[in-house]
Amino acid sequence: MAEPLIPRHMSNGGALWGTHALWVTALEAWWQQRNGQAGEEPESWRGIEFDKLAHFLHLIWRALYERKLVTFDSAYMSAGGVHGPGPALPRAGEFNRHVPALDAIYHIQDALKDNPDIHLFDLATSKYAGKIQYQVRPGRERTWLPMHLSDTLPPVLRKKDPGFFRALIEMTTVFSREELRALGTHQSKEGTIEAIEYNVFIHLFKRLMDETRDIETPGWRKKRGSALGQSDLPPLVSVANEIERKSKSNRGAYAEGWRKLKEAADTGNEVATVAIEDVYSAPDDIWTEEVTKWEQHGEQMNGLLTYLKALRNVCIPPKEPEDDEARQKLAERLRDEKDAGEAGARRVAAAYKVSVPPLPSRRADSFPWNRLRSAIVEVFDSLPGSTQYLDAYNRFAENYRGVA
């Protein structure tokens, strides 16, 4: 492997630019190690993949700093998100609020676009469901070469920093994207439970309640800045899938990544030793029954989502196509989704001992919306929460308890 190119200088901003230099150098080195050829452009990383790579680097660099092995700390903090914890910057003057790393980088590079020392990352953006989606590549010569040529700016790395910078970069290149995503998501049992409960009690519950409101009153979401009639169900399905990923399917990639860290630590790699001792728990210590029991709850949540999808079809029917064949296919799909919704409601009712209202035959039929919301609260009340997010849920759910 070619020696990673290490930035010698930074313009200003202290640890922020040093942290960004670490991330972009790791991104470039990983690509070069895998398939980089002279003259080729590096492939893009999806925003979620980059976020977990950055979190992996942030956690280990911070652990090195806390051991006083490097001279500057990571500029970021760890903050919860739909896909698990990730690096973020605190919002000035706002308690417990933050800006995710890629949003911060995008803002910095856009605000200072005339200064080439700032542009470490090549960001492509698109929008989905009102949110910016990122594709990330290292800026390469166009943007970060000036950082290496200046002889007048203060140095980025001092004392033992260059050695640890290089060692962490080299270690990062041995992991697959899936392993880096798992290592960026999971570090301990407690952190994994907290990430799952964020998905359940903050994101999923609030979005479910929003969905019932928007089905009951089409256009309700428009008042909150969203598109008329746009369903929350695709993102909600993603959230339910995240519960399953964190409680079960991420374990394989995490275990393989942890094994590589442990092997490196056993051969005397100091960076890997710090990672194993200070950051990453063994897989068996994370995926205990306290974590794996959430898998079945994630499966039950999917039953609730299929029910809401069928309810939306009844209350806000899709426009019928003019073509007879297309109209027949639509009718068949709606019947299948209604059957799936009714089956999902039965599973939820049996699992949580709640009464889920039967689907109406048509929108004109009266429907007990408050009873549905009360049933959803009963489901969530029975879940095994134990973190700060349960307290936040209880405050929000109080609005719906006993309103049938």
Instruction: Express each pLDDT in 118-166 by its tens digit.
Output: 567 888 888 876 678 899 988 754 444 444 444 444 556 678 888 999 9
pLDDT at 285: 98
Instruction: Report the distance separating Cα 28 and Cα 252, nearest Å.
Output: 26
Using N-to-C axis directions, what is the helix angle for 369-381 and 294-315, rounded to 10°?
A: 170
**Cβ partners under 8 Å of residue 369, min gap 6:** 212, 216
Regarding whether 42 and 83 lie in a shared domain, the answer is yes
Two tokens, residue 342: 């009714």
Q: Are residues 305 and 236 in the same domain?
A: yes
Q: What confidence tens digit (pLDDT) does each residue in 355-379 have?
A: 999 999 887 678 999 999 999 999 9
**pTM of the shown model:** 0.84
Last residue of a domain, one of 153, 176, 199: 176
Report pLDDT digits (tens) over 273-332: 999 999 999 999 999 999 999 999 998 889 999 999 999 999 999 988 888 899 999 999
Whether residues 150 and 194 share a domain: the answer is no
Determine, yes or no, domain membership for 274. no
Cβ-based burial of 303 (10 A; exposed 0-12, middle 13-18, buried ≥19): buried
- pLDDT value for 266: 97
Domain boundary among 141, 176, 211: 176
Q: Quick one: 141 and 241 in the same domain?
A: no
Tell me: do 206 and 316 sit in the same domain: yes
**Residue 36 φ then ψ, to 5°:** -70, 130
Token pair recorded at residue 138:
């290292």
- Cβ-proximal residues to 32 (8 Å cutoff; 6+ apart), any chain: 1, 2
In this structure, are residues 351 and 300 in contact, taking their beta carbons and an 8 Å threshold?
Answer: yes
Judge if 148 and 45 occupy the same domain.
yes
Q: 245-249: long-range contacts at Cβ-Cβ below 8 A with a sequence spacing of 24 or more? A: 246/84, 246/185, 246/186, 246/192, 246/195, 246/196, 246/199, 246/291, 246/294, 247/196, 247/287, 247/291, 247/292, 247/293, 247/294, 247/295, 247/298, 248/287, 248/292, 248/295
Return mean pLDDT, the chain: 84
CA distances to 201, 273, 313, 314, 357 from 362, in Å: 31, 62, 9, 6, 14
Structure confidence at residue 217 as a pLDDT band (50, 70, 90): confident
Asked if residue 256 is part of any domain, the answer here is no
Among the listed residues 331, 358, 330, 333, the one whose alpha carbon sits nearest the alpha carbon of residue 344: 358
Total count of domains within the chain: 2
Residue 254 belongs to some domain of the structure: no
Q: Are 374 and 404 in contact, with CB atoms under 8 Å apart?
A: yes
> 234 and 142: one domain?
no
Per the structure block, which two tokens stand in for 325?
């064949």
Confidence at 32, pLDDT banded by 50, 70, 90: confident
Whether the predicted pLDDT of 88 surpasses 80: yes
In a domain, 161, yes or no: yes
Specify the pLDDT at position 70.
Answer: 92
Per the model's pLDDT, the better-predicted residue between 40 and 370 turns out to be: 370
Q: Are residues 310 and 343 in the same domain?
A: yes
Q: Phi/psi at 196 (nearest 5 deg)?
A: -65, -45
Going 155 to 156 to 160 to 166, the CA torsion angle's sign is negative
Residue 90 structural domain: 15-176
Asked if residue 249 has pLDDT above 70, the reply is: yes
| Residue 171 confidence (pLDDT) above 60 | yes
For residue 143, is it within any domain? yes
Residues 60, 132, single domain; the answer is yes
Query: Do residues 40 and 158 both lie within one domain?
Result: yes
Share of the chain above pLDDT 70, in %: 83
- Contact status, residue 348 vs residue 354, Cβ threshold 8 Å: yes
Which of residues 123, 141, 176 is at a domain's end? Answer: 176
Residues 295, 350: one domain? yes
The answer as to whether 146 is a domain residue is: yes
Tell me whether residue 24 is in a domain: yes
* 45-46 sheet: strands from edge to edge: 45-46, 131-138, 121-128
166 with 226, same domain: the answer is no
